Structure 1
Amino acid sequence: MQQQNESNRGFSPFQFQPIEQTLQTFQWFSMMRANQPVYHDEQSHLWHVFRYEDVTKVVTDYSHFSSESIPGFSENSFLNGTVVAKDPPDHRKLRNLVNQAFTPRAVNHLSGRVTEIAQELIDGIKPAGTMDVISDIAFPFPAKVIAELLGVPDKDWDIFRRWASGGEGVGSEVSTEDNTAQGQQSMEENMYDFFSRLLAERRESPREDLISSLSVAEIDGERLSERELVSFCILLLAAGQETTKNLIANAMYLFTEYPEVAERLRQEPALMPAAIEEILRFLPPVWFTIRRATEDVQIGGQTIPANSIVMAWNSSANRDAAQFPDPDTFNIQRDPNRHLTFGHGIHFCIGAPLARLEGKVILPMLLEQLKDIKRVPDVPINVRAGIVYVIQSLPVTFSH
């Protein structure tokens, strides 16, 4: 009975809470991996999976753990019908579309413009000697990059920015408040109309942007439907923006928590790619993945009944000592570092290549151009903890 009481003190998804409280969740993960690695919460009827090996199975084995027909994830949300909420064979067609958008060539083609966007934002905050990492850098940077990738006209930036802000974690939770649900539906309808119009314009006057490519896209000789194309654009806005925003925010939090690491990266910028992987492992932007058991399935010595909803905690798997020696140490030279932050298998995060590129561009620039970065004292740091892990505000000071 004590174990169950301890289990119920664990993570409370979709709540705002101090960062210290959220970080204590890693202690809960450790206890659960040791004592109840596959745990059924009788109150919520959810199954929770904590160990690296078991989490990998859940996110990889789509024949037993489906992405379809999950309330609030692949049903009743903007994710419905998108690549992240489809199983094979339908998944393959949509994933091929994703691959067209995120080929290494397509992503690297953006690197010059990504650098320009990063420099514009840094130039804007330099004179003040202070900034809020979230509102001044972490949010606008990936939003502007996604707008650039899609080919959103400059005149539409303000509305695109509001959608990116309102889409924070969109689809990752289900509100019980009618007005919130209605607002969400209205926003998604507006986005649908916007991207439908943009696709039609590009069919008439193509440009060198992703929207133009999508407007004539074919997969296996089959044209994609208007809904599939527009849903993909909305998914890019949400997934491509959110992952990078949280990566940058978490990186800057860790650089202020471990200033010796920040200084080392200034001296040895070649370590940044490995540092980004450790940031993704140590404090991941995405904390768990949701699946539905397609049949009774054995995992971790437990039988999960068919149609049960399973939460696979990649944030716990990333701290599993069976996979990561000394897992609670922030080690920017960790090798190997097979973290599960971006998932695994056919549903590997669509935004991962872009998030890594953006991190490798802007984080060295921030460390090189802003010296002595420190958090503003006595300002509490709050996070919204759900599928995505979102620091709400991170005010810092610096010199240059």
Structure 2
Amino acid sequence: MSVSQSNLLDQVLDYANRANPYPIYAKMRENPIQRQADGRYVVSSYELVKSLVNDPRMSVDMRKSNEPTIRVEQEEPGFVFQDPPRHDWLRHQVISRFTPELISSLRPRLEEIVKGLLDAQRGQNQIDIVDNFAYPLPVTAICELLGVPREDEAQFHIWSTMIIKGSNLGRDKDAVKEAQQGRDLLNNYMGRLIDTIQQQPRPGLLSAMIHDNTIEKRMNRTELVTTATLLLIAGHETTVNLITNSTLTLLRHPEAFERLRRHPAIIANMIEEVLRYEPPVQFTMRNALTDLSIKGVKIPQGSIVMLMNAAANRDPAHFKEPDRFDPERPAIEHFSFGGGIHYCVGAPLARLEADIALTALARRLKNPRLVQDPPPYRESPTLRGPRHLLVSFERIED
């Protein structure tokens, strides 16, 4: 694949390159901080991404950007799109309840869900990993965890898809408008649900946040709505990609799939390597809170800075043979869950779900094979993963 020096970000965003953007990322790293024609800055080396993800001069709040097409004009964005001190307080409200003990306690229920999904495929010789497995697992889990009715999934799936479709960096105005409509519809749904839970407490994190009187100040209704919406979307969309990308990678490396079947204890390191090698979130955005200079490149205040996490994850200056999938790779320090104060709150749950899902697939699918490679991918360049992943097999074992 030949990649020119110019318009590299445009090429990453081009759907034609969705199946394999990594040659473009390699070209980016030749000049690891580049100004694009639209005035944005692309950062692609491990060193620079690590530095900027922890830099207080970088904001995640797009309302502070100088690009009107990408600013989200809403009263209260989710906490991952806010800076300190608001970010810190709102994040604390979540992580004070989203504890390691809670995540660990979910294992039996997650195993039950996975077993049911695979049992439902008995008698078949082909499965769509996305529709029949990787999507229903995390969406069921996050609904039960939050206390959102699972039967409402058909509604919020449409709205979530609208929101994600708009994650095209603000370049498609129609998609941006559609994304805002999706946010409004999902926020309205969450508002009604929160009102119901306010009157009738139920199991789940939403009810716990609404009715907890042990903290000095509870979240107000707007904060509850945006936090619930964020957790619902983030709680399943990226995990779908993690499970699907992992399955695709393992089936492309059948010796690794067989190793997992025989030695399931290797799953933890294998997941970290997939996260590095095929991250479910390819890049994130910041904007400069002040004029600054990075490696001699001047970045004006308000400019968008793209942190190309997927490019940094394959930087040969940090990883040996970065384009090789190595489940036994030591010290896998990747950026697939972000970093710094904005490190993904849901990372432990995503890892647990992937652990249970992949271990079960390796144990129960007899002689699995990819039906199509590469598979069709989702439209989003940010949340990159197959839209469908058809896998054939002889049978599903007990």
TM-score, length-normalised on structure 1?
A: 0.89
Name 2:45's counterpart in structure 1. Answer: 51
Q: Is the 8 A contact 2:142 2:232 kept in 1?
A: yes
* Greater Cα offset, 196-205 or 141-150: 196-205
Alignment map for 1:23-172 (pairs within 5 Å): 23=20, 25-33=21-29, 35-41=30-36, 43-61=37-55, 63-68=56-61, 69-70=64-65, 75-76=71-72, 81-168=77-164, 171=167
Alignment map for 1:318-357 (pairs within 5 Å): 318-357=313-352
Q: Is the 8 A contact 2:46 2:312 kept in 1?
A: yes
Return the alpha-carbon distance in structure 2 between the equivalents of residues 260 and 398 of structure 1: 16
| SS of match in other structure, 2:235 | helix
Q: Is the 8 A contact 2:8 2:28 kept in 1?
A: no
Name 1:209's counterpart in structure 2. Answer: 204
Paired residue total = 391
Alignment map for 1:243-282 (pairs within 5 Å): 243-282=238-277
Q: Is the 8 A contact 2:285 2:307 kept in 1?
A: yes
Shift of 1:372: 1.3
1:188 is aligned, of 154, 175, 183, to 183
CA change 1:74–1:59 in 2 (3 A) is farther
Return the alpha-carbon distance in structure 1 between the equivalents of residues 373 and 45 of structure 2: 36
* Greater Cα offset, 116-125 or 266-275: 116-125
Shift of 1:289: 1.2
Name 2:360's counterpart in structure 1. Answer: 365
Shift of 1:350: 2.2
Q: Does 1:313 align with 2:300?
A: no
**Which runs of no fewer than 5 residues in structure 2 stay unpaired?**
none
| SS of match in other structure, 2:237 | helix
Shift of 1:191: 2.1
Q: Which amino acid aligns with 1:256?
A: L
Name 2:5's counterpart in structure 1. Answer: 6
CA change 1:222–1:9 in 2 (3 A) is closer
TM-score, length-normalised on structure 2?
A: 0.90
Shift of 1:389: 0.8
Shift of 1:161: 4.0
Q: Is the 8 A contact 1:14 1:384 kept in 2?
A: no
| SS of match in other structure, 2:96 | helix
Q: Is the 8 A contact 1:134 1:394 kept in 2?
A: yes
Return the alpha-carbon distance in structure 2 between the equivalents of residues 219 and 56 of structure 1: 37
Shift of 1:188: 2.7
CA change 1:86–1:9 in 2 (3 A) is closer
Note the aligned Cα RMSD (angstroms).
2.6
Q: Which amino acid aligns with 2:45?
A: R
Shift of 1:382: 3.3
Return the alpha-carbon distance in structure 2 between the equivalents of residues 201 and 285 of structure 1: 34
What do the CA deviations read for 1:174-198 (whole angstroms, capped 9, x no partner)? 36454x5554444333322322222
CA change 1:288–1:211 in 2 (3 A) is same
Shift of 1:251: 0.6
**Which runs of no fewer than 5 residues in structure 1 stay unpaired?**
none
- Greater RCO (CA < 8 Å, at least 6 residues apart): 1
Name 1:304's counterpart in structure 2. Answer: 299
CA change 1:165–1:48 in 2 (3 A) is closer
CA change 1:14–1:155 in 2 (3 A) is same
Return the alpha-carbon distance in structure 2 between the equivalents of residues 375 and 79 of structure 1: 46
Return the alpha-carbon distance in structure 1 between the equivalents of residues 259 and 173 of structure 2: 47
Q: Is the 8 A contact 1:73 1:85 kept in 2?
A: no
CA change 1:349–1:378 in 2 (3 A) is closer
Shift of 1:221: 0.7
Q: Is the 8 A contact 1:82 1:231 kept in 2?
A: yes
Q: Which amino acid aligns with 2:368?
A: I
Return the alpha-carbon distance in structure 2 between the equivalents of residues 244 and 214 of structure 1: 24
Name 2:227's counterpart in structure 1. Answer: 232
Return the alpha-carbon distance in structure 1 between the equivalents of residues 76 and 70 of structure 2: 5
Return the alpha-carbon distance in structure 1 between the equivalents of residues 253 and 202 of structure 2: 45
Return the alpha-carbon distance in structure 2 between the equivalents of residues 78 and 202 of structure 1: 24
Q: Is the 8 A contact 1:73 1:80 kept in 2?
A: no
Return the alpha-carbon distance in structure 2 between the equivalents of residues 300 and 210 of structure 1: 44
CA change 1:102–1:300 in 2 (3 A) is farther
Q: Is the 8 A contact 1:17 1:385 kept in 2?
A: no
Return the alpha-carbon distance in structure 2 between the equivalents of residues 73 and 367 of structure 1: 45
Which structure dedicates a bigger proportion of its chain to strand?
Answer: 1
Shift of 1:117: 1.4
